[in-house]
Amino acid sequence: MMKSFIKLMWFPLLLATLVPAIWHQQPYILSMFTDALTIGALALAWAMLGNLGGMVSFGHSAFFGTGAYISSMLAMNSGMPVLLSMLCGGLAAALTTLLMLPTLRLKGTYFALAILAYSQIFRVLAMQLEGITGGSAGLSGIPTLPVVMGFALNSKLGVYYVILALLTLFLLIYTVLARSDYGLALKAMHDSEAATQVVGVNSLLLKALVLLLSAFMTGLVGAFNAHHMNFLEPDYAFNASWVIVPIIAAIFGGFRSLNGPLVGALVVYLTDQLLFKVLFPTGNLMILGGLLVAIILISPRGLLPLLHSAQRRFYRAKA
């Protein structure tokens, strides 16, 4: 049990100690890590849906934007404490999956495109409901994260620890889910949906539950981001980049492994922001795309499985 826990938590614990110890006096670098962990948390939520549920989503920005808007409006209009409003934002994002239940009967590309349409509908709604959301002008002055026991969660170090805590929570949820009977049923359904239906498994219910959980996680990250940025507008909240970049990160790191999306987010985002953007300001995305193609050709399962394979070969050669 302890061995499994250490195997799962070693990377988040490393990030919790190493990054602040080295870069605590460099706010820009800390901000880069905070943004990378935000992408990592979104990548993990997306990968859980794809790996366990076998569903590819191009519309997770719908959950991100919903969580961001609901949390912001609750904190601004009702005076609700920010941490509680973030939780409500995540729950609201989860509830939106009820509107998407008809799409669960679709498969593959059809499901991906249908859920993408929902994200565009939500973006248009946020622009049209001007009296509530501020319309295209958006919301400004969104309350920041609070001070808890004398520690400012809205400081550079504070927001880093908050998103790291959320990501660690997501890892635990993912692990518990994957090892439960529910997770086993999902994997069986992924291998053969028809076979699981024959033995009485309700595949639609399983898909709905994993979509709901993935939406909750994504909405929670959206709420965190809104209170971190203190500003929100529809084109930002429902932007396709909240889907595309996490997908690239998850595939690059290895979306079928637990830490793969996190490793992918750190490598992809930090390399792009701190190296490619500096060296090639106008062509950095092309290089990023080339890097993704290269890793897919070399190791279709992603970077982390490639490193594990190389490590095993090294120890066998050494023995």
Count Cβ atoms within 10 A of the Cβ of residue 288 and give its class: 0-12 exposed, 13-18 middle, 19 or more buried: buried
What's the rounded mean pLDDT across residues 53-79? Answer: 91
- Please give the C-alpha separations between residue 177 and each of 59, 141, 183, 210, 309, in angstroms, as whole numbers: 22, 37, 5, 9, 26
pLDDT score at 159 = 95
**Which of 282, 179, 159 lies closest to 225 in space, CA to CA?**
159
pLDDT score at 40 = 94
pTM: 0.90
Q: 242-277: per-residue pLDDT in tens?
A: 988 899 899 888 888 888 899 999 998 998 888 888
Q: Which amino acid is at 171?
A: L
> What DSSP line would sit under 210-247, residue for residue?
HHHHHHHHHHHHHHHHHHHHSEE-HHHHT-THHHHHHH
Is it the case that residue 184 has pLDDT exceeding 60?
yes
